[in-house]
Amino acid sequence: MKSKAMSLRLSGDQAAQLAAVARTEDVPISEAVREAIREHIKVRRTDPEFQQRLKQQLEEDREMLERLAQ
């Protein structure tokens, strides 16, 4: 899978806490962020309310794409 560079703005306090977590776990900050993102996505995949909103969004996107294709 191809990677994509992204930027992220954090408050000073968030950045300090993230750096402390990464140091404590002996991982680069980028790896700590990737792990947090993986966990966030995992939680969403098992959240029925999120899944319902996702299905609704997919349906709306499908309808829009069909109109654009006409």
Binning pLDDT at 50, 70 and 90, where does residue 15 land? Answer: very high
**What is the per-residue pLDDT for 12?**
98
Query: Is residue 27 helix, strand or coil?
Result: coil
* pTM score, whole prediction: 0.79
Q: Is the pLDDT reported for residue 1 higher than 90?
A: no
Q: What is the mean pLDDT of residues 42-70?
A: 97
Q: Is the pLDDT reported for residue 65 higher than 90?
A: yes
Q: What is the mean pLDDT of residues 24-32?
A: 97
The span from the CA of 54 to the CA of 44, in Å, is 10
Q: Is the pLDDT reported for residue 62 higher than 90?
A: yes
Residue 44: which residues within 8 A CB-CB, separation 6 or more? 50
